[in-house]
Chain A
């Protein structure tokens, strides 16, 4: 940034040195703000959680030991520091519950993401091909549900899905079924809840990548002898992949750690990591173990995404 300012300067009027320094400082400041945000609201909290995950549970306030502070001087701090260990992580590997919860969460999130993509793609495609005058309205309609509380919308699904709920009433009055369907408190209900709640996160990135696509590319494909369905798979879909990837990540990541939907719609049997974490934290009051669960969850999610992004950057580098 400062280099650009410095090299661009001679072409116009040479600014004084203090002016240049001031400009460089302003440029840096703009970059620093998001980093500060990440530092205070992500990195520092993460370090605190990580530290707790290395501690032992205790019946005290706060409910873990050691508490690192300098009240006993440096030596007290170091003594506390030496007490930290990875016992909680070992514990997570010994109890199959945690492993199962992670795997189930990933599978449920994966299936829900696929379902959301299948439901969301036609919606985004229809919006992108709609007349330009009504597109803002359609966009508004996609965002509209956000104006109601998430919790209330999930509660509403209980009313729809329960055995004597709206859906069963409708199907029975139409004589399609004679016995009420059991949907609530099953995985189906969780899928419905996740697809419904996260649909906008899928539709919006898909819409933005489909909307900027040049429609004459599809016409060119058809002109060269490709029927419309072929043109979709060979041209439209590959070109919308950035939107597909963004949408899938936006749905998959929160869905893995989702707590409200499995808790309200999935009933007590469902084993998802978000619920396990909640139980450890609120029922068992075991802060260190729940912190360890959270740290592992973060690693499980971030490491594959980092690899994925690196691969994508490389592919883009080659493409350029």
Chain B
């Protein structure tokens, strides 16, 4: 069986035409004065989904989250949660909870009281609150810190208190605004997996805003790539990476080589692309682009093979010269300057300790790739 990229889990309601959407942004626009933060955006999120909004700062992803929480009202359009229109419902009446980027822990309350805050507002009886708080403390492994105040905790502990506080009420949807932004790299990686486990365990719908693509790729079932208040692509991490639909998405996620060109001709199961400088590329998935149209061929560095001689069976092989070599331990990154001047980035996994075909600066080299290794982008 073949699949595009690796499969995270057996969960794909977006492919099921009968699946009921849980959160719906319906042609939502949000303007702050003259500035349009979110522009006519439609988006569907399913129950129990781990959904990530990924984009650079100022792309409107946080505004989208704040509209869902109720801190901002859309200028136009509707937001539906479980079929209910959220317009006019204040934040304190919405069945969603948010984990703030700054954590927003109440500095004058202990960890325990912070977690109990939302439950008290609900009017939950005292013993039940105690039980739930204990449960939450156990979930985030902070039992012995119950009586501490936020400033007596480390950054990672504060993050977990914020998380416990926001899930304590069992919201329909948990919103996470850059949940791992303030943690250092190592802690961030650990916490990513903890968050995924937590989401599975509680069976909640998570919507996370992040600017860190690795974070989004690791955790999310689907990612919405945003730019200037619009959604560029909504897809699984593997699809985003392996089958981007635009130059922006291809460029935004991971590293990519782009070849400008024209579609020369379509044959039965292949498309011939002629480059601006004469190089020719054959691909087997360029069917959507009309013959003669200007396109971009995008290919990831790890899909490109570098060798000192032209591989005999290669469909696509371009000649050039080694320009830079970076040895990173687990892999080696080559920069090959093609004869037409374009620099191609290729990375090779160092699967063995001995390199069979060592290449160094200024060596003649060939880059080759399979016809299905890249994608043809028309926009």
Query: Which of the 9-residue segments A115-123, A128-136, A223-231, A277-285 touches chain B?
Result: A223-231
Contact check: which of A219, A225, A227, A239 meets B118 at CB < 8 Å?
Answer: A225
The answer to whether B165 has its CB under 8 Å from any CB of chain A is yes
Q: Is the pair A220, B92 in contact by a Cβ cutoff of 8 Å?
A: no
Q: How far is the CA of A220 from the CA of B91 in the complex (A)?
A: 9
The answer to whether B97 has its CB under 8 Å from any CB of chain A is yes
Q: A residues within 8 A CB of B91? A: 219, 222-223
Chain B residue nearest in CB terms to A227: B92
Q: B residues within 8 A CB of A297? A: none
Q: How far is the CA of A221 from the CA of B149 in the complex (A)?
A: 17
The answer to whether B185 has its CB under 8 Å from any CB of chain A is no
Q: Is the pair B149, A223 in contact by a Cβ cutoff of 8 Å?
A: no
Q: Tell me the minimal C-beta distance from B70 to chain A in angstroms.
A: 8
The answer to whether B102 has its CB under 8 Å from any CB of chain A is yes
Chain B residue nearest in CB terms to A219: B71
Q: Is the pair B149, A214 in contact by a Cβ cutoff of 8 Å?
A: no
Q: B residues within 8 A CB of A234? A: 117
Q: Is the pair B106, A222 in contact by a Cβ cutoff of 8 Å?
A: no
The answer to whether B18 has its CB under 8 Å from any CB of chain A is no
Q: A230-B121, A239-B108 are in contact. Are A223 and B102 (CB under 8 A)?
A: no
Q: Is the pair B69, A223 in contact by a Cβ cutoff of 8 Å?
A: yes
Q: Is the pair A320, B152 in contact by a Cβ cutoff of 8 Å?
A: yes
Q: Is the pair B106, A235 in contact by a Cβ cutoff of 8 Å?
A: yes
Q: Is the pair A219, B104 in contact by a Cβ cutoff of 8 Å?
A: yes
Q: Is the pair A216, B102 in contact by a Cβ cutoff of 8 Å?
A: yes
Q: A216-B104, A226-B92, A239-B107 are in contact. Are A221 and B117 (CB under 8 A)?
A: yes
Q: B residues within 8 A CB of A225? A: 92-93, 118, 121-122, 169
Contact check: which of B70, B90, B121, B151 meets A224 at CB < 8 Å?
Answer: B121
Q: Tell me the minimal C-beta distance from A129 to chain B in angstroms.
A: 15
Q: Is the pair A238, B108 in contact by a Cβ cutoff of 8 Å?
A: yes
Q: Tell me the minimal C-beta distance from B212 to chain A in angstroms.
A: 20
Q: How far is the CA of A225 from the CA of B97 in the complex (A)?
A: 9
Q: A residues within 8 A CB of B92? A: 222-228
Q: Is the pair A217, B104 in contact by a Cβ cutoff of 8 Å?
A: yes
Q: A residues within 8 A CB of B165? A: 224
Q: Is the pair B90, A216 in contact by a Cβ cutoff of 8 Å?
A: no
Chain B residue nearest in CB terms to A239: B108
Q: A residues within 8 A CB of B108? A: 238-239
- Size bin of chain A's contact surface: 20 to 34
Interface of A is mostly: helix
The answer to whether A73 has its CB under 8 Å from any CB of chain B is no
The answer to whether A319 has its CB under 8 Å from any CB of chain B is yes
| Chain B 93-113 residues near chain A, CB threshold 8 A | 93, 96-98, 100, 102, 104-108
Q: Tell me the minimal C-beta distance from A317 to chain B in angstroms.
A: 12
Q: A residues within 8 A CB of B107? A: 217, 239
Q: Tell me the minimal C-beta distance from B92 to chain A in angstroms.
A: 5
Q: How far is the CA of A236 from the CA of B96 in the complex (A)?
A: 22
Q: Is the pair A224, B69 in contact by a Cβ cutoff of 8 Å?
A: no
Q: How far is the CA of A222 from the CA of B97 in the complex (A)?
A: 10
Q: Mark B126-163, 1 if CB is under 8 A from A, else 0.
A: 00000000000000000000000101100000000000
Q: How far is the CA of A222 from the CA of B96 in the complex (A)?
A: 11
Q: Tell me the minimal C-beta distance from B207 to chain A in angstroms.
A: 14
Q: Is the pair A216, B152 in contact by a Cβ cutoff of 8 Å?
A: no
Q: How far is the CA of A227 from the CA of B104 in the complex (A)?
A: 17
Q: Mark A285-320, 1 if CB is under 8 A from B, else 0.
A: 000000000000000000000000000000000011
| Chain A 43-83 residues near chain B, CB threshold 8 A | none
Q: Is the pair B117, A219 in contact by a Cβ cutoff of 8 Å?
A: no
Chain B residue nearest in CB terms to A213: B107
| Chain A 180-230 residues near chain B, CB threshold 8 A | 214, 216-217, 219-228, 230
The 9 residue pairs across chains A and B that have the minimum distance between CB atoms: A224-B118, A225-B121, A220-B104, A216-B104, A222-B91, A222-B92, A226-B121, A223-B98, A225-B92
14 extra interface residue pairs, beta carbon distance < 8 Å, beyond A223-B92, A223-B96: A214-B102, A214-B104, A216-B102, A217-B106, A219-B69, A219-B98, A220-B106, A221-B117, A222-B70, A222-B92, A223-B91, A223-B166, A224-B165, A226-B121
| B binding-site residues for A, Cβ under 8 Å | 69-71, 90-93, 96-98, 100, 102, 104-108, 117-118, 121-122, 149, 151-152, 165-166, 169
| A binding-site residues for B, Cβ under 8 Å | 214, 216-217, 219-228, 230, 234-235, 238-239, 319-320
